[in-house]
Amino acid sequence: MRLRTVTARPALAVFVAATMAVGALPAAASADTSLLAAPPTVNVADVNAHLQQLQTFATSNGGNRATGTSGHTATTTYLQQKLQAAGFTVTVQTCTTCSGSAKNIIADWPGGDTSKTYMFGAHSDSVSAGPGINDDGSGSATLLAAALTLAANNPTMTNHLRFGWWAGEEQGLIGSKFYVNSLTSAQKTAIKAYGTFDMVASTNGGYFVTGTDAIAVKLREYFTSINVPTETSTECCSDDGSFRNAGIPSSINSTGASYTKTSAQVTKWGGTAGQAYDSCYHKACDSYPSNVNSTSLGRWANAEEYALWTLTTGTPTANDFSVSLSPSAGSVNPGSSATATVNTATTAGSAQTVTLTSSGAPAGVSVSFSPATVTSGGSSTMTVATTTAAAPGSYTITVTGAGSVTHSASYTLTVTGTGGCTGAGQKLGNPGFESGTTPWTATSGVIGANTGDGSPRTGTRDAYLDGYGSSHTDTLSQSVTLPSGCSSYALSFYLKISTAETTTTSQYDKLTVQVGTTTLQVFSNLNAGGYTLRSYDLAAFAGQTVTLKFTGVEDASLKTSFVIDDTALTVS
């Protein structure tokens, strides 16, 4: 938070005077427990864990997380990774006017009406004097915990939810100004309210909600429900100013900075009169855990959750699910069988039990499921078996999933004639990449005499995807025709995955293997290891010309490489 004398900015003074008229809510306000029924609870231990991480970043990088420093870069990377892993769409915006071209982190939760966006923000930087745990690690950490709590509960969204963590606040609100200036008029109009949370764990603090926007209204509503009175504040300024100056309804929410607590405020909130709300404001002692009031930290985290939840989520809907097949077609000789995966997904409400059945199979064809009952979100293997008496032709088999509702998907079965297998053999051209690039189509530099992490398994050449350590996509593909009437269609290749990622839970870099529009498997940095044989049954594509495609996608940091060698597609 950056403090200035209120009278130095006439426009701001008018705003403060106007908001003071809102007044503090009385301590005796009755609690409405129904307010707290819908939103989940944010665990203050999770908030403290984030603060401990921010302290570690500061300690390891010169004692602070100031914009333009390694400590700030570590902070923004941590935010990005946590949010992406939870399912947020994260935009890393380089603020070219900030010191060191620092990053703003903007995170959108999928769903909701984007023309009605509610935005919550905090600044991710500290001053150079210290680690900035209250200013503004507390705002950053409570918002991160609130965002992750919402993601874990995955509610139905009616309005759109967005978060922002700003660089350069301590240098003059530079990051938030840069972001707001990048918005079109329509994008600014779509933001119905912005609330900034700057210093919400002051050890001698109060509860200040300064603004009249929708977020401020919800925050006051929450604090009233737990019998905690609020006041407006004359301390300023923070990133809410960047939004307010653009005509976006905004508020600043805090526990106070360097101003002193009055006796009347001690009566409301406790603490010590005549001392600063935060005696470590902009000092080296703004550290974890000594400069953190865990009570106010937890209250603010849950006030934020209440506000964002009640402003953006919808009424719970009835339980529902979907059913799909992969692949959705197969070709067999009489007397043989084909398999497909029946995938289910919970599309609304809670997971439910789904019973699988089939219809439409002709004489000589049977269909079984393993298992025959799944919980929505799970999958089952469907086996379509034929006898030698099955008549050649094309048939539609309907797979039905029955739960609280019923959904179905179609599978096309082709029973081939008795002409036998013609055109058997290995079908991929240049399978070991030893004779140039033809007939493969690949991103420039993928196929070659690679070394290091990209060293081939055999021979002198292979296909080396990604490994840049920055946002990058590589592709490798080949079109191939599979004859019909054969009993075996086996795709195989050796895959080596090398990574600099240290996570054991998050898929940051991925390799997708596809045949046509069907995804066979997705590998990631979590599958790192030496050359391993990967094999797939492509009988479902008999008689078709399909494209075998590998797509490697790498995120913005820490490299992962996917090396492919000795491919084969053998038909017999």
Q: Which residue numbers are catalytic? A: 169
Beta bridge partners of 514: 519, 549
Return the SS3 of 493. strand
Pairing mode of beta strands 159-166, 208-210: unpaired
As a whole number of angstroms, the distance between CA 281 and CA 166 comes to 19
CB 427 within 8 A of CB 438: no
As a whole number of angstroms, the distance between CA 566 and CA 430 comes to 9
DSSP 157-189: BSEEEEEEEES-GGGTSHHHHHHHHHS-HHHHH
Taking Cα atoms as reference points, which of 565, 556, 460 lies closest to residue 508? 556
Beta bridge partners of 515: 518, 548
Both structure tokens of 306: 């209440």
Return the SS3 of 554. strand
CB 76 within 8 A of CB 105: yes
As a whole number of angstroms, the distance between CA 227 and CA 204 comes to 19
Contacts of 273 (CB under 8 A, 6+ apart): 260, 261, 262, 263, 265, 266
